Structure 1
Amino acid sequence: MEYRFELALCSALESTDRVVARQLGAAVAAPGSRVVDVCLLEPGPGFDERAAIASDTIPPAAVEAPVGPGTAVPVRDAFETDPGRAAGIVDAAVEAGYLERERRDGVDCVRATARYPDDWVGSLTAVENKPDLGRPGDLEAQLRFDVALGLFDEVVLATASYVTRAHLNRIPDPVGVWRFDPETDEREVVREATPLAPTDPGVEIRDERGLRTDVALVDAAAKARKRRRIAERAYGKGWRPAPPACARAAVTADGRPRCEHFDRVVHPGGECGEGCPAFEADEGPDADLESLRDARSAWVADPDGGGPRRQTGLGRFGE
């Protein structure tokens, strides 16, 4: 249920004024310890410049390296790491379209294909999905983590449940609350989110045991680097999963994987395959998910083909 809820919410939130992505790492001191369900990226002034560079994620190490579109820089000077890892970073950045190689006096060098805009991200919103508040799991701890760290501009809880005062009292005050119906795409704002302070230092909760809480202090520079990495990952990844390689698989009009046998949206990695009694190996449906994403969001599929698009009317979360 939660997976189908998440995909329906992503589809409902997607618009040509923003980028929507799923399942992104959102911890700084202990990477991998926190994953947010949905991330909304609102474009900033430099968004068109970023979109014109590449449709894929640009490797963070390449963005952070002292390499620009001017004079080429020796790879060994650009990346303070072992040669094998440096070569991998360069390969990925070249494939993405951000770096280009050249040799100078027998030395491998790189230069950026364009200036990387620092202002391409307007805001980042984290959405935690919990369709059934009667089964909250680690919800409170996850939301406390997000609020204390302040990595996102806003944090929102999305649920299908009726939200009571008791529910609100257990949710950190800055967290906004949406009630969302995945069948109709109707979304009610039960409580507006309070803006956080992503440019300030934050506190990352590492462990909570009874009266003891272990934390790590995260400075503003580290948060800024992580926000850029989240934005890059969100831009390159999106939210649509590939449909299963099954003869009964289909794709909905908005790009969600659907099973014709069970007549519903399915989780390709969790429900499909040899363990499903209706599974029949096949190439799967012919789905052009990139074209769908290009048409329905601010993401640009082929920046070399038509150049950057102008973003207008950047509303907050309007339908």
Structure 2
Amino acid sequence: MTPDAEFGYELLVCRYAELAWHPSEGPRPAIVSRQLGTKERRWDTLVIEVDPEAFAARRAFGDRTIDSDLLHVVRGAPAEWAWYRDALPDPGYPWRYVRRAVHRAAGRDLIEKRRDGNRIEIRRRRAYPDWVERIVAVENKPDLDRSAADRLAEQLEHDVTTALADEAWLATETTGERVEPALLREMPVEAGILATDFSRGVDADAADVAWHPSDLSPADGERRDAETETLRLEIAERAYGKGWRSFHDTMRPDCRHFGLRRDGRALVPHCAAKDKVPTARECSGSCDEFSPEPPQWRTKGWPIEGGPGKGVERLLARRRERERDRGETVE
């Protein structure tokens, strides 16, 4: 078990999902993110299954998230020049905010814009693709005791009822024996159970399906309402931009004690001072062990431009980019 079970376990589940998704039905192209959701619900791990060809088209829009305001503009931009108020659907809020989004979208080269007298006209550079195939929500709980089972049952029941995701899973650590049946009976039968064993690190064989999930997608001939589809796309866009390795954004990789440690085929943060996987709350400027990198590390002969902390950030960014590239294919 990785030290600091909750946070460390979450990172290992994310890496496992990159290596072995889908666990019961074979390889599917997907991207993985963590700690995303809605006002009502935040998920530990999200797996966004993608259409490879459409995902390659999405990649042409860049590496950053296209937020909800920009999506309204990018998805509605016409093939030919038109006044933005004629081209875009009524947003349900003042048009001045749409105008700001138009300028932002053009500034990121997501659309083209020009002025015709007092009017701002827009035209798409390329069609925004329908790249999201399915969304899978995973709750992570390495130690499934009675109180944890009760809380998770309620959360997973919410996921099943709202059906915002296409599948709902619980990932829990196995002890070498079967997961306690009395605890699993608390879970909704529609939720899948993933029994993991990361004692030897992460690889594609580090988990078994203890219970297969139900498909929460609409039945044939049915569709989700437009508001729900838009919300799903907004979540997928946030997952695309963030990934799951963004933990360095809320930690202090500029501390001399911060590093990465290999756990099988995963890299997780490690604090040399405390010899553990730190949480974001622990890894902060208020930590008693926090020690900023000496300036000479960043200016005198260090082989990584910007010092080791910046090197960690670049390494994680490259790995996120590599996994995005893999989303365009099935291995």
Bigger fraction of residues in helix:
2
Q: Distance in 1 between matches of 2:41 and 2:219?
A: 20
Distance 1:87-1:159 versus aligned 2 partners, 3 A rule: same
Identity percentage of aligned residues: 31
Residue of structure 2 in register with 1:304 after alignment = none
Residue of structure 1 in register with 2:186 after alignment = 170
Q: Distance in 2 between matches of 1:279 and 1:113?
A: 47
Q: Mind listing any 5+ residue stretches in structure 1 that lack a counterpart? A: 27-31, 203-217, 301-308, 315-319
Instruction: Please state if 1:132 is matched with 2:133.
Output: no
State whether residues 40 and 125 of structure 1, in contact with CA within 8 Å, keep that contact through their aligned partners in structure 2.
Answer: yes
Residue of structure 1 in register with 2:10 after alignment = 6
**Cα drift, residue 165 of structure 1:** 1.4
Q: Which amino acid aligns with 2:213?
A: A
Instruction: Please state if 1:71 is matched with 2:77.
Output: no
Deviations 1:284-318 (A, max 9, x none): 612212211122x1x25xxxxxxxx783336xxxx
State whether residues 80 and 124 of structure 2, in contact with CA within 8 Å, keep that contact through their aligned partners in structure 1.
Answer: no
Q: Which amino acid aligns with 1:168?
A: L
State whether residues 59 and 89 of structure 1, in contact with CA within 8 Å, keep that contact through their aligned partners in structure 2.
Answer: no
Q: What's the C-alpha RMSD, in Å, of the aligned pairs?
A: 2.9
Match of 1:231 among 233, 236, 243: 236
Q: Distance in 2 between matches of 1:310 and 1:237?
A: 15
SS at match of 1:311: coil
Residue of structure 2 in register with 1:313 after alignment = 330
Task: Please show how residues 217-296 of structure 1 align to structure 2 within 5 Å.
Answer: 220-240=225-245, 241-242=247-248, 243-244=251-252, 245-252=254-261, 254-268=266-280, 270-282=281-293, 285-286=309-310, 287=312, 288=314, 289-295=316-322
Match of 2:45 among 31, 38, 49: 38
Q: Which amino acid aligns with 1:291?
A: R
Deviations 1:255-289 (A, max 9, x none): 53321222232223x11224322111347612212
Q: Distance in 2 between matches of 1:221 and 1:69?
A: 19
Distance 1:257-1:97 versus aligned 2 partners, 3 A rule: farther
State whether residues 42 and 124 of structure 1, in contact with CA within 8 Å, keep that contact through their aligned partners in structure 2.
Answer: yes
**Cα drift, residue 107 of structure 1:** 2.4
Q: Which amino acid aligns with 1:293?
A: R
State whether residues 198 and 220 of structure 1, in contact with CA within 8 Å, keep that contact through their aligned partners in structure 2.
Answer: no
- Larger deviation: 80-89 or 188-197? 80-89
Q: Distance in 1 between matches of 2:100 and 2:269?
A: 32
Distance 1:246-1:90 versus aligned 2 partners, 3 A rule: farther
- Larger deviation: 186-195 or 218-227? 218-227
Deviations 1:178-222 (A, max 9, x none): 11234422112111111112479x9xxxxxxxxxxxxxxx96322
| Greater gyration radius | 2
TM-score by length of 1: 0.78
Task: Please show how residues 28-177 of structure 1 align to structure 2 within 5 Å.
Answer: 32-44=39-51, 45-65=53-73, 67-68=76-77, 70-77=79-86, 78=88, 80=91, 81-82=93-94, 84-118=96-130, 120-134=131-145, 135-136=147-148, 138-162=151-175, 163-177=179-193
Residue of structure 2 in register with 1:207 after alignment = none
State whether residues 62 and 90 of structure 1, in contact with CA within 8 Å, keep that contact through their aligned partners in structure 2.
Answer: yes
Distance 1:76-1:311 versus aligned 2 partners, 3 A rule: closer
State whether residues 29 and 327 of structure 2, in contact with CA within 8 Å, keep that contact through their aligned partners in structure 1.
Answer: no
Give the number of aligned pairs. Answer: 282
Q: Which amino acid aligns with 1:188?
A: D
